[in-house]
Structure formats: C-alpha cells, structure tokens
Amino acid sequence: MADKLAIGIDIGGTKIAAGVVDEDGLILARVRRDTPTTDAAEVLDAITEIATELRADHLVRSIGIGAAGFIDASQSTVLFSPHLAWRNEPLRDRVSRRTGLPVLVDNDANASGWAEWRFGAAQNEPDVVAITLGTGIGGALVIDGQPYRGGHGIAGEFGHMQVEPDGRPCECGNRGCWEQYASGRVLSRRAAAEVGGGSPLGRRLVELAVGEGLAPHQVDGTHVTRLARAGDATAREWIAEVGQWLGVGIANLAAALDPGIFVIGGGVSDADDLLLLPARAAYSAALTGRGYRAEARVVKAHLGADAGLVGAADMARITARRRRPAHPAARARVRAAARSGRSPRRRR
C-alpha cells in the first residue's frame, strides 16, 4: 500500500493545502494551514510539519509540491515565485533532506492540469490545454499523454500572452497581457471601483463581504460571482465580458496547439455557464479556419480546489516508481544474464 500513497502539497500565497492521495486520486487525509510568511525558511518548516503530520497515520513513498512560480526543468528548484520569497530556491532537495522521502516540485497549474487529465474532466484526451482563472491566469499542457514543460520548464504562462497592444500594464512588466482582461483581477478591480464610489452594487458587494467577516476593502471577484449567480445584471455583464476575452485567448491557443479539449478551472470558473457560454461563443467566432475544422471542447474542471494537491501527489508517485532501485534479486538476474548473453527472466 505504501507504493500507492503520496503526499500532495499545494502552496499558495495565503494558504497551504495538503493531503494523502491514493493511486486513484482519492484524498485519504487532509491538512490545511495558513502560509506562515513570505520567509522561505518558515515555509520550509511548515511543509515539514505538514508532511510529518500526514505520515503519522499513513505510509507514503513520496511527496509532490505544487507552487505558483517558475520551476526549473528538473522539477527541483523554484526559480521565481511571485507570492513567496523564493528566488532559485532548491526546494526539492531541502524538503527531501528534512523528510527522508523523494520529492518532486512543479508549477501549481501543471499539477492541476495533470490531475484533470488523470482523474477529472480531460480523461482519455491525449492533448489537453488546462487554464486556471484566479487572480491571474495559469496554464498547463498535456501533449500525447505527457506533461509538457518546455525547454526551460516554464511553459504554460498563458496569462502573459499579449492580447491588447499598448493595453493595461501588467505586473510582469509588459502591457496588454491576457490576464488583465480575462481573470479574477478584472472582477476585483471593478468591484473595488463600485465600493469606492458607494454605488448600490458596491453596497451589495460590501454586505456580502461583511457577512463573511471581511472588511469592505476585501471585496473581490468571488463576491461578484455570487451576485451574478443570484441574478444581478451588472455582475453578469462583467463576467460575460471576462468570458469573451477568455474565448479570444482560447482561439489563439487553438491556432498554435490544436488540443482536443480546453479545461477551465480556478475560482472564476465557479461562474459556470455565465462565463463558459460567452467564452465558447467568442472562441468559435475568433477561431482560425472556423467552419472547416474541428473545434476543441471547452469544459469546466472537475476537481476544483483539490486539483493542485492531487496532481502534485500523482506526479510524485509516478516519478518515484520510475526511479525506484530494482530489488537485489532482480539486479542479480540482470547481471547474470549479461554475463551469459541471455535475456533475464522475470519471476512471476
């Protein structure tokens, strides 16, 4: 059973979600912590404590970590993380030394996309583009059944494709990036303007936030989505506009990659068809060669907030199996066969 269990840890700027995951993608135990600070040493301590707690009742063989940021091609080092003070952080080796287990580190969107391909909305599709709509836009690729990370390990940063020349400035340093028009950032920006202006919509947004124990300045896109689902016309218009920009970006990705399916996850996807129907319409209208080619399906992710930890655990389990040393008896048979020139036989 130990072969089949791995720990998945999804590290965000505000929270760490972790769990013990079996080979079918089922979460057997969970732990949730606030991300302690942006200090790398304290985050490492928190990861170690979480792993220790989860191992107390479960035999696990490996640990997978999903983190927002650029991860090197060897899945070991966080080159840069926007939410944490990680710059060339050798996270894999540091966690492995602390826990004594093999560790894999990958981008959180890659982990989520892999989970959807293995256990969620994209099963049985060889070529998948996963898009995560949160504060920004993350992405992942599965090509011919394998995760694709690019030559330097950082493929899938779809949010920083330019869709509007000389458009809105982006935190990345460029202008007109896709995530400035098709992410939760857009909804939060508009919500803040309504709250600051004291409009009726702004007051309804504040009521939702205060009902959750939040301050008015903490109103964000999730509150817009709640009002939209309750029927507010303006909130629905905002989400439809985000959906239209989402569809434009999807059409660009389809022209370059031609996947069989686009899987849309992240908090903004909670708007369901209020987001996806305008996205599909805009995608169909902008698709190169429309009318003469097959269109990829555009669907909502199935695993929700669990996708990151499930995917990280599954990646770690698969990698650990590939790297596991052969049993001594098997190695002896291989050496004997090599000396005799025969192929080694496997014992049944």
Question: Does residue 118 form part of some domain?
Answer: no
Q: Distance between CA atoms of 148 and 128, rounded to whole angstroms?
A: 10
Q: Are residues 149 and 63 in the same domain?
A: no
Question: Does residue 346 form part of some domain?
Answer: no
Please check whether residue 180 is in contact with residue 186, taking contact to mean a CB–CB distance below 8 angstroms: yes
Q: Are residues 174 and 294 in the same domain?
A: yes
User: Within its chain, how far is the Cα of 74 from the centroid?
Assistant: 18
Q: Are residues 88 and 187 in the same domain?
A: no
Q: Are residues 143 and 292 in the same domain?
A: yes
Q: Are residues 84 and 147 in the same domain?
A: no
Q: What is the CATH number of the domain that holds 30?
A: 3.30.420.40
Question: Does residue 339 form part of some domain?
Answer: no
Question: Does residue 241 form part of some domain?
Answer: yes
The pLDDT tens digits for 66-117 are 998 889 988 899 998 877 778 999 999 999 999 999 999 999 999 999 999 9
Question: Does residue 231 form part of some domain?
Answer: yes
Per-residue pLDDT of the chain (348 residues; tens, 9 = 90+): 446 899 999 998 778 999 999 999 999 999 999 888 778 889 999 999 999 999 999 999 999 999 988 899 888 999 988 777 789 999 999 999 999 999 999 999 999 999 999 999 999 999 999 999 988 899 999 999 999 999 888 899 999 999 999 999 998 889 999 999 999 999 999 999 999 999 999 999 999 999 999 999 999 999 999 999 999 999 999 999 999 999 999 999 999 999 999 999 999 999 999 999 999 999 999 999 988 999 999 999 999 999 999 999 999 999 988 765 544 554 555 455 545 555 444 433
Question: Does residue 342 form part of some domain?
Answer: no
Q: Are residues 103 and 212 in the same domain?
A: no
Question: Does residue 328 form part of some domain?
Answer: no
Domain count for the chain, please give it.
Answer: 2
Q: Distance between CA atoms of 25 and 310, rounded to whole angstroms?
A: 6
Q: Which domain holds residue 188?
A: 127-301
Ramachandran angles phi, psi of 264, nearest 5°: -105, 115
Tally: H helices and E strands in the chain: 10, 13
Q: Are residues 96 and 153 in the same domain?
A: no
Q: Are residues 289 and 314 in the same domain?
A: no
Q: Distance between CA atoms of 22 and 6, rounded to whole angstroms?
A: 7
Q: Are residues 162 and 50 in the same domain?
A: no
Per DSSP, the residues of 95-118 read: HHHHHSS-EEEEEHHHHHHHHHHH
Question: Does residue 335 form part of some domain?
Answer: no
Q: Are residues 274 and 312 in the same domain?
A: no
Model-level pTM? 0.87
Q: Are residues 220 and 107 in the same domain?
A: no
SS3 assignment, position 163: coil
Q: Are residues 137 and 84 in the same domain?
A: no
